Amino acid sequence: MVAESAHLSEEQLAVLLSGMYSLLCAALRIPPSSLKQEVFKEDLKLLRIPEEFIADFAKVIFGNRRPLLEAALQKQGNQLPRMEDFKWRVEVAISTSSLARALQPSILMQLQISDGSTHRFEVPVAKFQELRYNIALILKEMNDLEKRSILKIQD
């Protein structure tokens, strides 16, 4: 068994295998035209992966079996549903049973998800502004992470 010959516990072996799997999945999601072999190898060196493993990883990612691996990765059904359609509108109630709500704008949203479900909800303007701010903050953080990514994307 590999764990015995390398003097690893089963837990350590599980961590190593899951790390290798995550690394391969992340690299396979990047289009081959954007991921350069030299940059990939340098990134693996920065992660302190041994040289003999770097050659094996590069052979897997840049070899002739990549299309098969990409197809297998896409077939995996453990992906979350995606948003297929998003509709919204601003609504101002002129007369309601509640005087406090009269002439108060609200945002009506409808999400259609890839699993076929549709979700409708109403959001007050203040909550919408908070949502908008948080999304902008997340996009900024994603942009910052992309700039210092382990696997650099180069066009």
pLDDT for 56-83, tens place per residue?
888 888 888 888 888 887 777 567 788 9
pLDDT at residue 132 in the model? 92
Confidence label for 34 from pLDDT (cuts 50, 70 and 90): confident
Question: Around Cβ 3, how many Cβ atoms within 10 Å?
Answer: 14
Residue 133 or residue 24, greater confidence: 133
Q: In this structure, which amino acid lies at residue 20?
A: M
Confidence label for 121 from pLDDT (cuts 50, 70 and 90): very high
CB contact at 8 A, 108 and 91: yes
Q: Where are the domains of the chain?
A: 10-76, 83-148
Mean pLDDT of 8-12: 83
pLDDT over 80 at 154, yes or no: no
CB contact at 8 A, 27 and 61: yes
pLDDT at residue 86 in the model? 93
Residue 84: partners with Cβ closer than 8 Å, 6 or more residues away: 112, 113, 114
Confidence label for 89 from pLDDT (cuts 50, 70 and 90): very high
pLDDT at residue 110 in the model? 95
pLDDT at residue 148 in the model? 73
Q: What's the rounded Cα separation, in Å, for the pair 35 and 57? A: 13
HSE toward the beta carbon, residue 114, CA cutoff 13 A: 6
